[in-house]
Chains A and B, each alone.
Chain A
């Protein structure tokens, strides 16, 4: 009996210990997260010996980056942010290596902080030079990234969304399902292709503002190939490519990716649309949309690579849609 009581006490003690342990760990994690989700406090001198107090950063969107002053890429990010947002954003560059870096010092509004012992690097939890952090006016973290990905894939979209209040929506480039492609002026080119093809009853258009993502994942191109072979000549597949490429690129594209369907360059109107969206959003946001359209130009299905399980979902839905509509028309 006594043994049982002892066992019970030990078990209870162990359970209480585990609960306390979990609470302590979760508290520590929360504390750590707090550090990373808020602008940390620091009080240092800049390279001109002016005192910089991070608590005074509040009230303005702040971009802080651990840079190598010799890195053209790091400076390029600052320059582009400065060009796009001007005085709306506070730019802070931290480095252990400031010397006579005239390129950086020419921009008087930029705050350049020396961090010879890498204390700030540790404070921000950045593992190496090249990390950047964006905070809103209240000091809340908007996003963090690595300078290695550059401006286009890095802070651009986060800060545009925050400061300009625009968030990418695919409706900016595509009409919705059930609507006709003609409702978007910039998709006239698709209508012309559609009108010229008298055999096909369904059309798939792959809109590639850049081919990068299409290749690196490779899945969208493969999906288009599967679709082309799964459905007979009722379906025509076209890739419409950004004017970043030229006519000489088309045979390269066809042979390298073994395409068995046409690939054309976008017309000027679509190119301009892409170009204007590129100013605000990441290349990947506006790339790789695929439309299934019937011969009247009505959109039946849209593939969005940022959607959930998009490739298989689009493929099976497209095959089923074409098969069902085919049966209905036979009846």
Chain B
């Protein structure tokens, strides 16, 4: 008896990864997420470009990312029209650059963008390139890229990219989450263990969203799993924590139902757990939306929930691929890139 008891205790107390525990919790947790009492509702200030601007040629054909420079100008790569649109916070089109093509400064489906201190870096899907531009849109340099780095940041002389995680187990490079490259795209090291969930259990290939904290830590959020990780630049895992929200819980219930109905024990995960992330001195913002609600969760770097913002939606936001948070004396202003009812940026502020 004593041996059995000791054995059971050993099993229970054995160190398991947080992902392991969360995996179980994510699927089987029955507790309901309750919005905190200090939940802050957001209201829309403006949407730009406006629908009527389209006639003047000011519109976003389709976009999957957004980045802001130090002045707060918002850069949106339009992957339908192969150009970069630059908007002021007030929604005015400041400039646009790029055209369809394969030459320097031209684009074929630019989908990713990162604003540095005096440059912007654009990634194109079809030309498989990274291109550096000045903030004014002047081409500087470029190089080919052979992996699907949907999310990337630049730190000093390093380009840090998070490749698309394939649901196909045969996909190469699945053993690491992050590649650290020089500014010519040559990989110097890779790190970050993937979640120990069979990739084939996902319904789709999934993205990782990465951002850089004020302490130069790499923040990674999984698109289909409610986990955020912080890594040092050298690749050491500093912290991992779970995100919780109403939408995540709702999707967890759906997962549970699917598992129940299939009866096969196969776990198939559905529902986005992070559409995009943004990091500033206040912490890590995680954006999640479904057709009824937008949620912005703010965590500090220890993984403690700090603030919870939400907005009830009538038409849904579609995919929210970009967030920029601007602090002003009157409070925070949230700029969200949304795809419904048409690709646009919406400015949201808290209700007073």
Chain A interface (Cβ < 8 Å from any Cβ of B): 68, 70-73, 76, 97, 99, 130, 147-148, 150, 211-212, 215-219, 221-223, 225, 245, 248-249, 251-253, 255-258, 311
The 10 closest A-B pairs by CB, nearest first: A255-B187, A218-B171, A70-B57, A252-B185, A256-B147, A222-B170, A256-B146, A249-B144, A222-B172, A219-B170
8 contacts between A and B (CB under 8 A): A72-B83, A150-B126, A211-B144, A218-B172, A219-B171, A248-B184, A256-B146, A256-B179
B172 near A258 with CB under 8 A, answer yes
- Choose among B80, B145, B166 the residue that contacts A71 (Cβ–Cβ < 8 A): B80
A68 near B148 with CB under 8 A, answer no
Q: Is B72 part of the binding interface, using a Cβ–Cβ cutoff of 8 Å?
A: no
Contact with A along B63-80 (1 / 0, CB 8 A): 000000000000000011
Contact with A along B178-198 (1 / 0, CB 8 A): 010100111110000000000
Describe B's contact surface by its main secondary structure.
loop
9 additional A-B pairs beyond A68-B59, A147-B80, beta carbons within 8 Å, are A71-B61, A72-B82, A76-B100, A148-B62, A216-B148, A223-B170, A248-B143, A255-B181, A256-B179
A256 near B128 with CB under 8 A, answer no
**A251 to chain B: which residues have CB within 8 Å?**
186
**A217 to chain B: which residues have CB within 8 Å?**
168, 171
Describe A's contact surface by its main secondary structure.
helix
Complex alpha-carbon distance, A76 and B109, angstroms:
14
A257 near B173 with CB under 8 A, answer yes
Chain B interface (Cβ < 8 Å from any Cβ of A): 54-55, 57, 59, 61-62, 79-83, 99-100, 108-109, 126, 128, 143-148, 166, 168, 170-173, 179, 181, 184-188
**A76 to chain B: which residues have CB within 8 Å?**
100
B145 near A256 with CB under 8 A, answer yes
A99 near B55 with CB under 8 A, answer yes
A252 near B168 with CB under 8 A, answer no
**A245 to chain B: which residues have CB within 8 Å?**
144
Quote the shortest CB–CB distance from B340 to chain A (angstroms): 11
Quote the shortest CB–CB distance from B185 to chain A (angstroms): 4
Quote the shortest CB–CB distance from A284 to chain B (angstroms): 12
**B168 to chain A: which residues have CB within 8 Å?**
217-219
- Choose among A68, A148, A225 the residue that contacts B172 (Cβ–Cβ < 8 A): A225
Contact status of A73 and B80, CB under 8 A, knowing A212-B128, A255-B186: yes
- Choose among A211, A218, A223, A255 the residue that contacts B166 (Cβ–Cβ < 8 A): A218
A97 near B146 with CB under 8 A, answer no
B80 near A221 with CB under 8 A, answer no
Complex alpha-carbon distance, A99 and B143, angstroms:
39
B128 near A211 with CB under 8 A, answer yes
Interface centre among B55, B61, B109, B179 (most CB of A within 10 A): B61
Complex alpha-carbon distance, A253 and B145, angstroms:
7
Complex alpha-carbon distance, A194 and B313, angstroms:
63
A257 near B170 with CB under 8 A, answer no
**A256 to chain B: which residues have CB within 8 Å?**
145-147, 173, 179, 181, 185, 187
B186 near A252 with CB under 8 A, answer yes
Contact status of A70 and B185, CB under 8 A, knowing A150-B108, A249-B143, A257-B147: no
Task: Tell me the nearest residue of chain A to B164, going by C-beta.
Answer: A216
Quote the shortest CB–CB distance from B178 to chain A (angstroms): 13
A215 near B55 with CB under 8 A, answer no
B186 near A311 with CB under 8 A, answer no
Quote the shortest CB–CB distance from B168 to chain A (angstroms): 7
